[in-house]
Amino acid sequence: MDGEVQSLLRQRKKISTEGKDATADAVDETTSPEEAVWGKTPGGEVYFAFWRAAYDVGLGWVLTKQSKKKWIVREIQRLGWLDDSRKPAVRNWIRKQLAGKMGKDYSFDDLPLEYNTWLLFRQAVDIILLKWIGGIAMIAFNLWVKTEAHHVVKDYGWYWGDVFFQRGALVFDGVFELAPHPMYSVGYAGYYGLSLIIGSYPVLFVSIAAHAAQFGFLVFFENPHIERTYGQRKLLAQRTPVFTSSTLPEDVAAEGKTRSDSVSSTKSSDLSTPSATEGESGTETDGPQTETEYESDTENEGRPTMSRAKKGRQTSRSSVSSIPTLGASSFNGLRRSKPPISQHDLFNIYFRKDTILFHNIDLLRATDLQLVLVITYVLTASLLPPLSHKAGLVLHSIHALMWCLFHSFGLGLLLRAQSERKFLVRHFLKHYYYPQNDNGKGALYEAFSNWKSIYNTSMCMTYGMTFFHL
């Protein structure tokens, strides 16, 4: 008898705990994060309205009848679902389902009909709540938004390339037509999907805090940067290059055309013998000819005209023959004028303040930052004493929160400094060597490459620590 009492007490304790979980699931459901997701997709309103009606109207009606007339219990008795003599197959299936959910301590035959009916009703509630289906759908939607956004903006927009250099105007396409700032609004629906699956208030609060931090990043950096760069508030969408490979600026095209024409004319004049008419035209270009000179020339015989033509041909040939000579001499002069590379320049080219142990550490270089992270994690794992479950949970929560704050606020402040003062590019120009005729392109490329690597590391750690915490 004492054993049965203890078993019943254990059952009640377990049921009470699961009842709290179901209540938490219901509260999470009432937060309706799916409004931010399905409200933006075709047919999402109908889907959302159906399940909300099933929860608020359907369950409300059924529970009202159960509260007044014990309607659910009476229907189970009338249908004979839990009667072994009337419908044994249905009874065995229900018994298997409930036993699999409740665990080893559950005894289907020893518990009253009302209790088993309540457990069966909970199965219907879980279906309406759509805990797993809704959560997985929201995570899948999150991944789709991020993937499509990267497909539209490419690496240039994904890593905020317009903070470093400009490539063109904004173009809206694909997922950017779905909602305002989809990468920051509906693009974080996966946070709420995880909260729905886990059914935990701390996870929900961390998700809300992370999403709020992302909106802070949008308000304090993204929108001011877009207004500063493009003059109006637009999405961080695809940047279209101003010049493509098939088009060039007019001055460059004109210069190239002029050079090609001059070279072709030089070759043709050098290879072909000019006629008398060509000779006259060549002399006329040397200077303006007055009417008196023209009349005096026509009064004479054709010999002076021919001599003038010969003179023009000689002048043309001499000028053409002098072109390659001048080009070669100028080329040799340029080669001689280039200064030799000194030992100081060689050292700065091949030894760019490389990290030796902890000397020359620069946290704005991605490799140095990753080195510091690896050493920090190794030392922490080696020196950290054994922790209890609660202490470990608190430590992992703080760890995940720190990465979320660094990803949103730390990198946001760095981007803001780059946007306003070109902080990253100036940092690399100040501390590292670049050729004099580089015009800052090397520092720009190195700053942007390190920024991309740092951002990717932060994003991997943020999501990795969040999933590990869960």
**Whether residue 222 is found in the same domain as residue 309:** no
The confidence score (pLDDT) of residue 153 equals: 82
**Whether residue 262 is found in the same domain as residue 361:** no
The confidence score (pLDDT) of residue 469 equals: 59
How far apart (Å, rounded) are the C-alpha atoms in residues 294 and 271?
31
**Whether residue 338 is found in the same domain as residue 350:** no
- Spell 134-150 as b/e; 16+ CB within 10 A means b: bbbbbbebbeebbebbe
Other C-beta atoms lying within 10 Å of the C-beta of residue 392: 12
Residue 198 lies in a domain: yes
Boundary residue ending a domain (131, 153, 187):
131
**Whether residue 145 is found in the same domain as residue 224:** yes
Rg, C-alpha atoms of the chain: 40
Residue 439 structural domain: 346-469
**Whether residue 94 is found in the same domain as residue 14:** yes
Residue 411 lies in a domain: yes
The confidence score (pLDDT) of residue 401 equals: 87
How far apart (Å, rounded) are the C-alpha atoms in residues 28 and 34?
11
- In the numeric block, the tokens 């030392």 are attached to 379
**Whether residue 166 is found in the same domain as residue 256:** no
Q: CA of 112: how far to CAs of 8, 82, 107, 109, 117, in Å?
A: 12, 11, 10, 8, 9
The confidence score (pLDDT) of residue 374 equals: 92
The confidence score (pLDDT) of residue 268 equals: 44
Residue 68 lies in a domain: yes
**Whether residue 112 is found in the same domain as residue 36:** yes
**Whether residue 6 is found in the same domain as residue 122:** yes
**Whether residue 102 is found in the same domain as residue 139:** no
Boundary residue ending a domain (97, 112, 131):
131
Boundary residue ending a domain (309, 344, 379):
344
**Whether residue 226 is found in the same domain as residue 257:** no
Provide the domain count of the chain: 4
Contact by Cβ (8 Å): 417, 402:
no
Residue 288 lies in a domain: no
Tens digit of each residue's pLDDT, the chain (470 residues): 445 545 555 665 555 555 545 444 444 444 444 444 444 444 556 666 776 677 777 777 877 877 777 888 888 888 888 777 888 888 888 777 777 767 666 777 777 778 778 877 777 777 666 677 788 888 999 999 888 888 888 888 787 777 777 776 666 677 787 777 888 888 888 888 888 887 778 888 888 988 888 888 888 888 888 887 777 544 434 444 444 444 444 444 444 444 444 444 444 444 444 444 344 434 444 444 444 444 444 444 444 444 444 444 444 444 444 444 444 444 444 445 555 666 556 666 667 777 788 888 888 889 889 999 999 989 988 888 888 888 888 888 888 888 989 998 999 999 999 988 899 998 988 888 787 777 888 888 889 999 999 999 998 888 887 776 55
Residue 286 lies in a domain: no
Residue 287 lies in a domain: no
pTM, rounded to two decimals: 0.39
How far apart (Å, rounded) are the C-alpha atoms in residues 193 and 136?
6
Cα 253–chain centre separation: 36
Residue 245 lies in a domain: no
Going by C-alpha positions, the residue among 28, 35, 31 that lies closest to residue 198 is 28
Residue 74 lies in a domain: yes
* Tokens standing for residue 33: 């994060």
Contact by Cβ (8 Å): 144, 198:
no
The confidence score (pLDDT) of residue 6 equals: 54
**Whether residue 95 is found in the same domain as residue 138:** no
**Whether residue 331 is found in the same domain as residue 231:** no
The confidence score (pLDDT) of residue 238 equals: 41
Q: CA of 307: how far to CAs of 151, 269, 298, 304, 313, in Å?
A: 73, 19, 14, 5, 10
Cα 12–chain centre separation: 49
Contact by Cβ (8 Å): 467, 399:
no
